[in-house]
Amino acid sequence: MTELNVSSRNLFRTRTACLVLGVREGQFRTDWLRELDNRLRKRLQRSRRDGEFTGGSGQTLMLHCGSELAADRVLLVGLGKPAPNDSEALRRAAGSAVRVARGKKLDRVALYLPSFDLAAHQDAAWQAAIEGALLAGYSFDRYLGDADKRPTRIAELTLVTDDRRQAVRAEALAVRARAVCSGVELARDLVNLPGNGKAPEDLAEQARQLARDCGLTCTILEKQQLEEEGFGALLGVAQGSRREPRLIVLEYRGGEQSRKPVALVGKGVVFDAGGISLKPAEKMDEMKMDMAGAAAVLGTLKAAAGLKLPINLVGIIPAVENLPSGSAYRPGDILTSLSGKTIEVLNTDAEGRLILADALSYAARFEPEAVIDLATLTGACIIALGHHASAVLGNNQGLVRQLLAAGERSGEKLWQLPLWDDYTAQLKSKVADLKNIGGRPAGTITAAAFLRAFAEKQHWAHLDIAGTAWKDAEEDYRSFGGTGVGVRLLVDFLSHR
Ligand code: BES
Ligand code: MN
Ligand code: ZN
pLDDT tens digit sequence for 37-82 = 999 999 999 999 999 999 999 899 999 999 999 999 999 999 999 8
Same domain for 329 and 303, yes or no, is: yes
Residues around ion ligand 2, judged by CB within 5 A, are: 272, 349, 351
Same domain for 172 and 208, yes or no, is: no
Same domain for 170 and 304, yes or no, is: no
Q: Are 330 and 217 in contact (CB under 8 A)?
A: no
Closest residue CA from atom 7 of ligand 1:
379
**What separation in Å is there between the alpha carbon of 444 and the centre of ligand 1?**
10
**What separation in Å is there between the alpha carbon of 352 and the centre of ligand 2?**
6
Rounded CA separation 443/58 (Å): 36
Same domain for 159 and 212, yes or no, is: no
Check whether 119 has a pLDDT greater than 70: no
Closest residue CA from atom 17 of ligand 1:
350
Percent of the chain predicted with pLDDT > 90: 92
Query: Can you give the CATH number for the domain in which 450 is found?
Result: 3.40.630.10
Same domain for 304 and 342, yes or no, is: yes
Closest residue CA from atom 3 of ligand 1:
378
**What separation in Å is there between the alpha carbon of 381 and the centre of ligand 2?**
13
Ligand 1: residues within 6 Å at CB? 272, 290, 347, 349-352, 376-380, 437, 443, 466
- Rounded to 10 degrees, the C-alpha dihedral 22/24/26/28 comes to -50
Residue 345 Cα distances to 65, 291, 375, 437, 443, angstroms = 66, 21, 19, 8, 16
pLDDT of residue 26: 84
Ligand 1 atom at minimal distance to the Cα of residue 447: 19
Same domain for 147 and 200, yes or no, is: no
Ligand of minimum distance to the alpha carbon of 469: 1
pLDDT of residue 333: 99
Ligand 1 atom at minimal distance to the Cα of residue 380: 21
Given the residues 15, 169, 279, 413, the one annotated as active site: 279
pLDDT of residue 117: 57
The angle, 0 to 180 degrees and rounded to 10, between the axes of the packed helices 443-455 and 352-363 is 30
279 is catalytic: yes
Chosen domain end from 162, 184, 206? 184
Closest residue CA from atom 5 of ligand 1:
379
pLDDT tens digit sequence for 418-459 = 999 999 999 999 999 999 999 999 999 999 999 999 999 999
Closest residue CA from atom 22 of ligand 1:
379
What's the domain count of the chain? 2
Same domain for 349 and 373, yes or no, is: yes
Ligand 1 atom at minimal distance to the Cα of residue 379: 21
Query: Can you give the CATH number for the domain in which 62 is found?
Result: 3.40.220.10
Same domain for 240 and 142, yes or no, is: no
Same domain for 147 and 251, yes or no, is: no
**What separation in Å is there between the alpha carbon of 377 and the centre of ligand 3?**
6
pLDDT of residue 118: 53
Ligand 1 atom at minimal distance to the Cα of residue 269: 1
Same domain for 169 and 237, yes or no, is: no
Chosen domain end from 184, 211, 227? 184
pLDDT band at 83 (very low <50, low <70, confident <90, very high): confident
428 is catalytic: no
Closest residue CA from atom 13 of ligand 1:
349
Ligand of minimum distance to the alpha carbon of 443: 1
Chosen domain end from 156, 184, 212? 184
**What separation in Å is there between the alpha carbon of 379 and the centre of ligand 1?**
5
Residue among 277, 288, 349 to mutate when testing ligand 1 (max atoms within 8 A of CB): 349
Same domain for 428 and 305, yes or no, is: yes
pLDDT band at 19 (very low <50, low <70, confident <90, very high): very high
Average pLDDT, the chain: 96
Residue among 378, 385, 437, 446 to mutate when testing ligand 1 (max atoms within 8 A of CB): 378
pLDDT tens digit sequence for 244-254 = 999 999 999 99
**What separation in Å is there between the alpha carbon of 279 and the centre of ligand 2?**
8
Tally Cβ neighbours within 10 Å of residue 49. Answer: 10
pLDDT of residue 347: 98
**What separation in Å is there between the alpha carbon of 274 and the centre of ligand 2?**
5
Residue among 276, 288, 373, 377 to mutate when testing ligand 1 (max atoms within 8 A of CB): 377
Given the residues 267, 302, 353, 409, the one annotated as active site: 353
Ligand of minimum distance to the alpha carbon of 289: 1
Tally Cβ neighbours within 10 Å of residue 38. Answer: 12
- Domain hosting residue 131, numbered range: 3-184
Ligand 1 atom at minimal distance to the Cα of residue 322: 11
pLDDT of residue 494: 98
Check whether 103 has a pLDDT greater than 70: yes
Q: Are strands 312-322 and 262-266 parallel, antiparallel or unpaired?
A: parallel
**What separation in Å is there between the alpha carbon of 347 and the centre of ligand 3?**
11
Same domain for 152 and 301, yes or no, is: no
pLDDT tens digit sequence for 139-194 = 999 999 887 889 999 999 999 998 888 899 999 999 999 999 999 999 999 999 99
Nearest to 477 by CA among 141, 96, 184: 96
pLDDT of residue 120: 61
